[in-house]
Structure 1
Amino acid sequence: MGLQTSDHFPISRAGTLYKVTGSDIIALIQANVGTGEYEVANIAARNALTGVSLGDRVFVVDATGDATVSSGWAIYVWRGAAWTKVAEEEGLDVVVGGCNLTYTAGASNGIVVSSNGTDATLPAADGTNAGLMVPAQFSKLGFIAVTQGVDLDAMESASHAAVTTGGSASTNPIVVTGQALTFSIANLTTAP
């Protein structure tokens, strides 16, 4: 079942329900978007069209009169003062702006240099913000050699565990004070 211009559609505006017909909706679209659909032989015929409205479209069978079309058809939309190409047989002419980026390294930051825009400075990382590793940080990491997975939390906990000795305090020559180990000859017993 297709829609017809006599169909009714409900529209709510500020809490009030209105009923409009399909022809009312079409009239609104035509008044604001443009309804003209034209087919012409070439660019000269497109340019000769009169009475076009904003949003009207024209299919040009041979659009080679447009310097951006080397062969085939093109579709244009009237924008009020000029035609804008929206499709063509070969594709669309897209100009992508770009620039060349280079990188300048430094001891405290790095700079991404743009060939046609604003350069960007990449700061050194700190305790709050991500950034570049400075040479001192790199050198410190160079002293670490890890050949397998290491649980640093477990290692830290184990390194701070209480130290104990195997013998009694009166017979052991090893004396423990916190994490410090000392040797006391006074605790040695004479050999039998």
Structure 2
Amino acid sequence: MEFDELIKKRRSCRAFKPEPVTEDQLQAIVTAGQWAPSPLNEQPFEFISVTDPTVKAQIQKTGIEAKQMIVDNNGPAWVKKYPMNFIGESPLILVVVFNPNKGGLGSYFGQPHGALQSTSACIQNMLLKAADLGLDSLWFTFFNPGSLKTVLDIPAELDIAGAILIGTPAMGAKAPPRRTPKIHRDRFTKEK
């Protein structure tokens, strides 16, 4: 598959077939993530592979908690209707954690986000590899991080970059339209 085609094929999926993600597929996806750039090659990311239905239900519960927190705090109206059942129905949830102290030299210049940035690049690689393998995915961040850390025994010093839901899509998803890129030349210019 051509690279441009692969980028456009990757979709955010919320409906999966029940068939499992194989160990070979999991390894290929994680390996793709490991090849992401990172400051000083620190590779600050680690992965928690979740397939146990009980643990997936607990992860789903953290999403429901986050949803209720947003509703209770007068968040966007659409959140109240947002379904969460697809979390537990995902064949694989790959939770990506990272060490925020492994962000390279940027912290000396007031740019302490290197670890999150490299972990985001890692996740993008994994999403693309999943698409390359005929799978769809969803980079899910709609959860209560404190609760998710408790559910998965994640050490306090690590942060969560996301929970990646991965599986065979139950139906095709249409790509939403993209905006025209805003390219500034030589300096940032405000639109008039």
Relative contact order (alpha carbons < 8 A, sep ≥ 6): 1 or 2 greater? Answer: 2
**More strand by percentage:** 1
Structure with more of its chain in helix, by fraction:
2
**TM-score after normalising by structure 2:** 0.19
- Higher-Rg structure is 1
